[in-house]
Structure 1
Amino acid sequence: MASWKVTFPCTRDEAEAIDFEGAALLDIDPAPVLLTSETIPDDPASWQLEAYFDGKPNSAAIAAVQALAPSSDGVRPALEKLRDEDWVTMSQAGIEPVHAGRFYVHTEHNRGIVPPGARAFRIDAGLAFGTGTHETTAGCLRTLDELKVSGKRVRNLLDLGTGTGLLAFAALHLWPGAYATASDIDPRSIEVTAENAGLNHVALGEGMGQLALAVAPGMQHPLLIGRAPYDLIIANILAGPLVELAPTVSMALAEGGTLVLAGLLQDQADTVARAYRRQGLRLAGRIDNGAWPALRLVKRARYGADRVTRPGPGGVGEAPGFGSW
């Protein structure tokens, strides 16, 4: 049976909000595979949604996919019959590998030649948002690499809103003896992270050198709370949630700890940094990848409640006024 592709315009916000295996597609059998990508670099309004079908889709299936991108309402879909080839390979062929710091990120079909000394990670497209090719992820990878080069010691880290697990994997590579946690509000993202951990030989678990996983909105999970405070928190999400989470994320960061923020645009950086300065953090560094900055902040010493007497899993004691999480 021939495969078909349907393409719609969408926005970056719509792309990030798509539930790739959600109820909207349950009536389509077999379900299409969805991919999102930029059509104009650094323009959040210029993205596209591609749906790959086994067989020619009917109008109901096309409408169900189009409903995932409300901004495409009224737009005639681009319907294309594909040649008898492996369309998964075709769809990922245009995703270039990323070499950021000591890391090299690729999909199954574009491994290429790994640079000498680089740690390669395979992160395939299509199941969770982000493949490591986006400038925000590359900026985070470079920031982590620079932290290691500078001598930063990390015993306990959190990748908040992990997506595919890539940044948690990279951090564990740099600090292999650390306790590590990765969380996401989307259960499918945590499933994908577990799958990617297997592909990339990352051990799962709650011990040193292992990655613990949690489905959680923000910091609202006993595992995330119980393992605080963190020497390093990475949050590659959107500007709005970053601002909203500033009080609880800052509280979970140890004094002198480092916070890496990304997923925001240039004109949102000051607003996000200001929200964390109000919580006692200072801007210590910044990497600009096109329109997508990655911010590095450090929590000032002796700021806030002295709520935990020792860092890492097993820390004890919470002061009054700890917060909503």
Structure 2
Amino acid sequence: MTSTLTPSTHRASFAIGSEQTAKHVVDLLTESFFEGQAAISAFEGPSGRWDIIVHFADAPDQTSIRELVGLAAGDEVAQHIAFDTVEARDWVKAALEDLVPVPAGRFVVHGSHDRARVPANKLGIEIEAALAFGTGHHGTTRGCLLLLDHVLKAYQPQRVLDLGTGTGVLAIAAAKALHGAVLASDIDPASVRVAHDNAHLNETGHLVQAIRATGFAAPQFAQRGPFDLVLANILANPLRQLAMSMARHLAPSALVILSGLLTHQAGPVIAAYRARGLVPVRHLRIEGWSSLLLRKAG
């Protein structure tokens, strides 16, 4: 494995309670630095608070950073900015050390270093730790796998779609459990390549077809549908926007597994799909995230 030793970087971390204010701060910081000087990330936690982290190539002027943040978020937030240094390390090696096999019903998501630790009565899904998003360690991925395991105990879908496949974990899981074909799509070309490679790594390359598509626009959806099982681990807003298109591509009594939404976002997503004739069957809550199982009427 190639070493990915990164140099030391300087970091500023702080939290903001308002999404609007967080976006204002990110915009202001983004405008204040040239490309390559700083990397800014903001993400919402289960409590609704926004955590903002800024990595700097060189040691920042802490007073200037506090003044910038204070302009957008107020002096109290600015005074609570924590500055520290992130030491150089091999991030892939560190990730491998941190990622242990994740069980989810009959499935176990693991890295190549843990291949031998998968029990004989489980279905292993091997994902490299360098592909951090979608390794199964996130509550949304695990929730989807648990709901998939629940569905497959009583149901054998024939036309399966993994919408927003990412690393391909869900498509691979369905293909392994069903020994059948799965269509996997993603808006991101890099994700499509990763899903394709992971499918072959897991000996399901002949079963998983990974395509690039926005929503349900590609012709493969009409060719392979209507689907009797759809898995979509995306985000709350895109899930709501896709409700109408999703319903049109479902067979009668089809099952849909949705995730990528914080628990407080589940209600509006359920309402959007209920309006299209899908009723909630099961709701899992893991680490502040919700995973939903819905059934289409008919």
Same fold (TM over 0.5): yes
TM-score normalized by the length of structure 1 = 0.69
Deviations 1:205-231 (A, max 9, x none): xxxxx1111111111111123222001
Alignment correspondent of 1:97: 101
Alignment correspondent of 1:202: 204
Alignment correspondent of 2:187: 185
Deviations 1:77-108 (A, max 9, x none): 6443436xx54211332223210001111123
Amino acid at match of 1:134: H
Structure 1 residues 8 and 256 mapped into 2: Cα distance closer, same or farther (>3 Å)?
A: farther
Q: CA deviation at 1:299?
A: 0.7
Alignment correspondent of 1:160: 163
Residue 268 (structure 2) pairs with residue 276 (structure 1): no
Alignment correspondent of 1:4: 7
Amino acid at match of 1:281: L
Give the stretch that moved more between structures: 277-286 or 160-169: 277-286
Alignment correspondent of 1:237: 234
Work out the CA distance in 2 between the residues paired with 1:225 and 1:126.
34
Structure 1 residues 87 and 263 mapped into 2: Cα distance closer, same or farther (>3 Å)?
A: closer
Higher strand share: 2
Alignment correspondent of 2:141: 137
Work out the CA distance in 1 between the residues paired with 2:230 and 2:241.
16
Contact 2:123 2:177 in 1 (8 A): no
Alignment correspondent of 1:308: none
Contact 2:14 2:82 in 1 (8 A): no
Residue 77 (structure 2) pairs with residue 80 (structure 1): no
Amino acid at match of 1:262: S
Q: Identify unmatched segments of 5+ residues in structure 2.
A: 23-34, 60-68, 73-77
1:310-325 equivalences under 5 Å are: none
Contact 2:13 2:82 in 1 (8 A): no
Contact 1:102 1:118 in 2 (8 A): yes
Q: CA deviation at 1:41?
A: 7.6
Work out the CA distance in 2 between the residues paired with 1:222 and 1:106.
33
Work out the CA distance in 2 between the residues paired with 1:49 and 1:109.
31
Match of 2:141, SS state, is: helix
Q: CA deviation at 1:279?
A: 0.5
Alignment correspondent of 1:300: 297
Work out the CA distance in 2 between the residues paired with 1:91 and 1:45.
26
Higher helix share: 2
Contact 1:128 1:189 in 2 (8 A): no
Q: Identify unmatched segments of 5+ residues in structure 1.
A: 15-26, 29-33, 52-56, 61-69, 205-209, 302-325
Alignment correspondent of 2:123: 119
Contact 1:237 1:262 in 2 (8 A): yes
Give aligned-pair identity as a percent: 36
Amino acid at match of 1:80: V
Deviations 1:23-79 (A, max 9, x none): xxxx98xxxxx9x999x984565668798xxxxx9549xxxxxxxxx99xx967644
Structure 1 residues 162 and 37 mapped into 2: Cα distance closer, same or farther (>3 Å)?
A: farther
Aligned CA-pair RMSD: 3.7
Q: CA deviation at 1:297?
A: 0.7
